[in-house]
């Protein structure tokens, strides 16, 4: 039997609850194509990322290993040259890719390797545990633009879709080898850019203003300062930004539809699997926050929809699953042997209806930007437990409190203790925290040595190619808004501390 083809569509920053087929009130007219894909196959209703930020999430997907195993600590530190990836295995098995270099995978973002992103992205990841309480974000990515004279706001993504369709048409003429078509859109990542055409797809009167947390966790307090939301939280402001985010989802859904229509026209569904998901979610002003980088549902939940030749139509699965399961799922589909050190499990037995049993829990870590410690999340049953080394944990009952506004870690200490023990049985999170802190200190010390030697030039954020930051002091002032000698002294105290010491 010939090997099947795979279309893997990875949208950026898509809250897994924001689909019509997930019952989202404001999205009933916004995602007809992904809803249609779910009707063709299976919808995993409780899917989670394994690391809620871009590069580490992709590194987990393509290596099949959690961050504490592959050491994808932040957006600058992903997989290293020589690390085995799913693409290596598929290439060896004879799969064709849309990119000339299969390690670049295909069409769109492929930032799963070390060395990318700006100096501020890497520096603030390394130095977050120094607890520098200054804004980092809040610049262009918070802009809101609703255009009225055109249909498509994400022109670069539409060019990817056009190239994807060309690739599929070329395959129709040369069907000797199976293909792996990877499409990764920049939508729906902030900034909030859309058009009135897509805004009309959103039921604006059903866009919710999220409730406030009963108490502000200290790690989230740091994150609010760091993320620096500029526009306030007036109800109409919140609704406008959230509607714009959903409208971006509507445009990305239309991109999915273009690919599906091309597959219809070329009669590819009999030997092609289509997988749609995202690298992480987007808070979109839930918990008075934006971006990802937390374990709240808006940030850690992802969509996951699959259709293919032997997947029954219209299945809905509530087992808790993870993006760490993508690697073994795709190796099972392609009949490529999986290495023995991967962390996930194949979802194909669930998808094909051969069993209702699975691991049924999800683990996620966050060790990168916008946090003053590390985060470790275990979702099992109705409970979500989040450990923050050096700080009190969070515990949410998602059945009773789906908005996660009530931390039960003290009121239900017996459950919190049990979940903590179960999490520790999966990962020794304090040791992982210490490893990450050691990496952060060593990386920053070396970066600072080179920065003071004049080796770097930074034109990101408030700087420009015509006026780059070139000295250590200038680059740090571009990393943290309001950087001063006082903050340098605080950073030095952290650097001189014991890397095994936890935050207090």
Per residue in 378-426, pLDDT tens?
A: 999 999 999 999 999 999 999 999 999 999 999 999 999 999 999 999 9
Specify whether 54 is catalytic.
yes
Sheet strands (E) in 229-360: 272-278, 301-302, 304-307, 315-322
Q: What is the pLDDT of residue 26?
A: 98
Strands 301-302 and 42-48, sheet pairing: antiparallel
Top-confidence residue, 92 or 115: 92
The single-letter DSSP state of residue 73 is -
Give yes or no for residue 246 having a pLDDT over 50.
yes
Mean pLDDT computed over 187-206: 96
Return the sign of the alpha-carbon dihedral for residues 479, 484, 485, 490: negative
pLDDT tens digits for range 264-315: 999 999 999 999 999 999 999 999 999 999 999 999 999 999 999 999 999 9
Res 462 pLDDT > 90? no
Nearest in space to 186 (alpha carbons), one of 161, 223, 150: 161
The closest alpha carbon to 387, from 343, 425, 442, 444, belongs to: 425
Percent of the chain with pLDDT over 90: 88
Q: What is the pLDDT of residue 503?
A: 45
Q: What are phi and psi of 175, to 5 degrees?
A: -100, 20
pLDDT in tens, 126-141: 999 999 999 986 566 8
pLDDT at 502: 44
Greatest Cα pair distance, the chain, in angstroms, is 67
Please give the average per-residue pLDDT across 431-456, as a whole number.
97
Task: Please give the structure tokens belonging to residue 176.
Answer: 């000797």
Helix segments in 267-289, DSSP class H: none
Three-state secondary structure call for residue 318:
strand
Helix-, strand-, coil-residue percentages of the chain, each rounded to 5? 40, 15, 45
d(CA 358, CA 195): 42
Please give the Cα distance from 227 to 285 (Å, whole number). 11
Burial of 410 (0-12, 13-18, 19+ CB in 10 A): exposed
The rounded distance, in Å, linking the Cα atoms of 50 and 72 is 11
Give the whole-angstrom CA distance, residue 197 versus residue 305. Answer: 26
Asked if residue 436 has pLDDT above 70, the reply is yes
| pLDDT for residue 249 | 98
pTM of the model: 0.96
Mean pLDDT of the region 39-64:
97
Share of residues in the chain with pLDDT > 70 (%):
97
How large is the average pLDDT for residues 10-39?
Answer: 98
Q: Would you call 272 helix, strand, or coil by DSSP?
A: strand
Helical spans, DSSP H, in 28-117: 32-40, 54-63, 67-70, 86-92
Residue 287 pLDDT: 98
Average pLDDT for residues 46-60, to the nearest whole number?
Answer: 97
Residue 109 has what pLDDT?
Answer: 73
How many CA atoms within 13 Å lie on the side-chain side of 64?
24
pLDDT digits (tens, 9 = 90+) for 359-378: 999 999 999 999 999 999 99
Catalytic residue among 21, 49, 54, 70: 54
pLDDT recorded at residue 140: 67
Which tens digits make up the pLDDT trace of 224-240?
999 999 999 999 999 99
DSSP assignment, residue 467?
A: B
Q: Please tell me the distance from the alpha carbon of residue 59 to that of residue 196, in angstroms, as a whole number.
A: 36
Residue 176 pLDDT greater than 80, yes or no: no
- With cut-offs at 50, 70 and 90, classify the pLDDT of residue 504: very low
Rounded Cα distance, 59 and 50, in Å:
10
Query: Count of residues for the chain?
Result: 504
Q: What is the pLDDT of residue 137?
A: 61
Output the six-digit token pair for 443: 């990386």
Question: If DSSP codes are grouped into helix, strand and coil, which group holds residue 280?
Answer: coil
CA–CA separation, 288 and 404 (whole Å): 12
Query: What is the pLDDT of the chain when averaged over all its residues?
Result: 94
Q: What is the pLDDT of residue 498?
A: 61
Those residues with Cβ within 8 angstroms of residue 363's Cβ, 6 or more apart along the chain or in another chain: 50, 66, 322, 324, 376, 377, 378, 423, 426, 427
Work out the average pLDDT over 42-51.
98
Residue 63 backbone zone (phi > 0: left; psi -120 to 50: alpha; other: beta) = alpha
Domains of the chain: 5-380 (3.40.720.10)
More confident site: 25 or 115:
25
pLDDT tens per residue, range 425-434: 999 999 999 9
Report residue 224 as tokens. Answer: 């609010």
Tens-digit pLDDT profile for residues 320-351:
999 999 999 999 999 999 999 999 999 999 99
Look at residue 100 in the predicted model and tell me its pLDDT: 76
Q: Is the pLDDT of residue 459 over 50?
A: yes
């Amino acid at each position: 039997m010939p090997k099947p083809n795979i279309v893997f569509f990875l949208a950026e920053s898509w809250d897994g609850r924001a689909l019509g087929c997930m019952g989202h009130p404001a999205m009933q007219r916004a995602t007809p194509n992904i809803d249609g894909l779910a009707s063709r196959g299976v919808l995993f209703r409780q899917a989670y990322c394994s690391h809620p930020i871009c590069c580490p999430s992709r590194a987990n997907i393509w290596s099949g290993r959690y961050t504490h195993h592959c050491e994808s600590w932040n957006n600058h530190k992903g997989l290293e040259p020589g690390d085995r990836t799913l693409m290596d295995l598929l290439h060896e098995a004879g799969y064709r890719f849309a990119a000339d270099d299969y390690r670049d995978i295909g069409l769109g973002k492929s930032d799963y390797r070390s060395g990318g992103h700006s100096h501020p992205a890497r520096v603030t990841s390394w130095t977050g545990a120094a607890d520098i309480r200054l804004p980092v974000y809040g610049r262009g990515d918070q802009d809101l633009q609703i255009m009225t004279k055109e249909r498509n706001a994400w022109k670069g993504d539409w060019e990817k879709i056009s190239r994807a369709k060309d690739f599929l048409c070329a395959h129709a003429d040369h069907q000797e080898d199976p293909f792996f078509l990877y499409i990764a859109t920049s939508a729906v990542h902030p900034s909030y850019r859309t058009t009135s055409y897509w805004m009309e797809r959103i039921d604006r009167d059903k866009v919710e203003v999220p409730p406030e947390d009963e108490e502000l966790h200290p790690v989230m307090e740091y994150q609010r300062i760091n993320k620096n939301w500029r526009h306030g939280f007036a109800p109409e402001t919140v609704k406008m930004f959230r509607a714009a985010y959903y409208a971006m989802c509507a445009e990305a859904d239309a991109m999915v539809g273009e690919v599906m229509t091309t597959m219809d026209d070329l009669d590819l569904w009999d030997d092609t699997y289509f997988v749609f998901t995202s690298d992480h979610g987007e808070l979109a002003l839930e918990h008075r926050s934006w971006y990802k980088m937390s374990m709240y549902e808006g940030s850690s939940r992802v969509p996951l929809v699959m259709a293919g030749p032997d997947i029954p139509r219209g299945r809905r699965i509530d087992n808790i699953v993870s993006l760490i399961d993508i690697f073994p799922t795709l190796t099972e589909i392609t009949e490529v042997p999986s290495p023995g050190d991967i962390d996930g499990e194949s979802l194909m037995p669930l998808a094909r209806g051969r069993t209702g049993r699975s691991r049924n829990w999800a683990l996620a870590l966050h060790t990168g930007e916008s946090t003053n410690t590390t985060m470790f999340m275990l979702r099992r049953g109705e409970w979500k437990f989040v450990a923050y080394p050096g700080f009190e944990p969070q515990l949410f009952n998602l059945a009773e409190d789906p908005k996660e506004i009530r931390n039960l870690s003290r009121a239900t200490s017996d459950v919190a203790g049990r979940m903590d023990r179960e999490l520790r049985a999966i990962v020794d999170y304090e040791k992982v925290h210490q490893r990450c802190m050691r990496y952060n200190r060593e990386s920053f010390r070396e970066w600072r040595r080179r920065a003071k030697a004049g080796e770097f030039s930074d034109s990101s954020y408030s700087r420009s190619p015509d006026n780059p930051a070139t000295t250590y002091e200038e680059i740090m002032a571009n990393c943290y808004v309001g950087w001063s000698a006082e903050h340098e002294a605080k950073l030095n105290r952290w650097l001189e501390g014991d890397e095994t010491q936890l935050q207090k």
